[in-house]
Structure 1
């Protein structure tokens, strides 16, 4: 199994014809998706406490307490005497009904408000076919190598896709690159590049990341949970400890619902093709988007740092690096562009 895919112990869940109760999962214990205050503030404008109380169907006196509860959950609601309340930037609510209408045949769609992580939530449930889970917020979002994925509410895309492959796990090495190519196709209007093995960047600033977890028998079938985080409209002042960007910073941000629907449709096509044809049809598309090709890089493996020139990937999705002592295909490792 390639290091860009984490293997986990959920093999017993493979292939069970059970469908999660999406209607309950999407709304039970879910104040934000049904909260009249958030709905009233969705346009990003100022609203009086009186109008919000009417929208939320609660007393005027209860508004302050409800707003504070939403703030504690991470919603950056402004309050100002004489003007009322405002949610800067508004709220582009994820529309589960629209997503289900656009879902390819056989797909299940769930939208959650607040969850520890969409990958973890999905791993504990079984579906009869492909599934998409989206969340407005993750409290313990994870990126590659166990890093935290910052997941504020209502502004980004936090998605996990459930897909089962019939073949052996050894064939899935290039999967993260296939998913990256799919996401880049959906975002094709931008100068997006793919940084091996699982990041999408623009001008060396991170836009999106991919985390794939797999379970099952090594000979197959293999269940994969494909996690994708994409910065859509996150505030530019957020410090993530590395350069990052968002769709809103690059131009008009698309609807998160449209983005998720387009990605679901693209993955439905591309994952089926990868299942039957492997990585070969995707390699030219990756090569056109390769952020590391012919660049000087630093490779960190096992506590060692080595300098090399990146020379693209092979059909197994391994990064080919030219070191001082020859060419080597990397299955794993932390790779960064060498600064002059």
Structure 2
């Protein structure tokens, strides 16, 4: 794996605020000013906005709070690993599933190969979002994992509510919405044999402070910094609360299954009682969304009455 320690060290210095000259940074890391300049370019390629003023040095365009593994680990029982630059937090845990304790967490500041649903790329500027994956061993096996992305969605919104972020909603099956725009995506990946425990990796990408200039994102998105109720975001506290809530919710799910979650989901459903269309390959179904059932299926009131749809490549959209 590539060594990013100098870039991360420079970022840590800059995240303390103010100007830092190339000379001062060079002395600190034992390299030339030209090498510092090269590292700064590399950091900018991660999507970090740094500007330089002649005679003063470098400064971050906006404040940045870096994640701190020790702060987070001190408050949770789960094993936490922070790998600032990673290909994908989900892939990291999937590759190590055999050796991990259930509940192990991987956090990152920047994903080189972040993935969304259906193999889409997940765009991730350094330090401006929260990338968190948790490994979970589900003893009940693969079949019991059916509604899991719904359960995880509920956990994440409830964690945000604990932190006083209000009006965040869920979109079936695995997105968080704020004012009809995407705020976060959930990706549950699993491996295991029939009849054995399922190895699950639950990944989440949550937009915190994405700028409008972020390249490569086509759909309208929202950032947590816009969400009502809270002035500033403490990323370490956010990560801690997410881990604690996710852990508690998954234990809940193991005990009660989906039935404990139908009401919790429907309370947060962004599209409940609204016209929607479901896109399944070539097929389109329109109707009024009526929440979910105990299988985690979405219920749509169509011309032929209440119909349920589950799994596969189904895309739910608002229908105007």
Using the TM superposition, give the Cα deviation of residue 44 of structure 1 relative to its aligned residue in structure 2, in angstroms: 4.3
Aligned equivalent of 1:301: 280
Runs of 5+ unmatched residues, structure 2:
none
CA–CA separation in structure 2 for the residues paired with 1:116 and 1:309? 40
CA–CA separation in structure 2 for the residues paired with 1:314 and 1:109? 34
Does the 8 A contact of 2:277 with 2:284 survive in 1? yes
Aligned equivalent of 2:196: 220
Does the 8 A contact of 1:176 with 1:210 survive in 2? yes
Does the 8 A contact of 1:200 with 1:208 survive in 2? yes
CA–CA separation in structure 2 for the residues paired with 1:198 and 1:328? 20
CA–CA separation in structure 2 for the residues paired with 1:121 and 1:36? 23
Runs of 5+ unmatched residues, structure 1:
1-27
* Bigger RCO of structures 1 and 2 (CA < 8 A, at least 6 apart): 1
For 1:201, what is the secondary structure of its paired residue? strand
- Report the TM-score, using the length of structure 2 for normalisation: 0.90
CA–CA separation in structure 2 for the residues paired with 1:261 and 1:279? 25
Does the 8 A contact of 2:291 with 2:299 survive in 1? yes
Aligned equivalent of 1:187: 160
Which of 290, 296, 299 is equivalent to 1:317? 296
Aligned equivalent of 1:62: 35
Which of 46, 53, 68 is equivalent to 2:26? 53
CA–CA separation in structure 1 for the residues paired with 2:307 and 2:6? 50
**What value does the CA root-mean-square deviation take over the aligned residues?**
1.9
Q: Does 1:117 align with 2:88?
A: yes
Using the TM superposition, give the Cα deviation of residue 92 of structure 1 relative to its aligned residue in structure 2, in angstroms: 1.3
Q: Does 1:241 align with 2:242?
A: no
Alignment map for 1:105-144 (pairs within 5 Å) = 107-125=78-96, 126-144=99-117
Does the 8 A contact of 2:7 with 2:40 survive in 1? no
Alignment map for 1:10-29 (pairs within 5 Å) = 29=2
Does the 8 A contact of 2:67 with 2:109 survive in 1? yes
Alignment map for 1:32-111 (pairs within 5 Å) = 32=5, 35-104=8-77, 107-111=78-82
CA–CA separation in structure 1 for the residues paired with 2:241 and 2:265? 19
For 1:310, what is the secondary structure of its paired residue? strand
Once the two structures are superposed, residues 287-314 of structure 1 have per-residue CA deviations (whole angstroms, 9 ceiling, x without a partner) of 1111111110111002222211111100
Using the TM superposition, give the Cα deviation of residue 200 of structure 1 relative to its aligned residue in structure 2, in angstroms: 0.7
Does the 8 A contact of 2:6 with 2:29 survive in 1? no
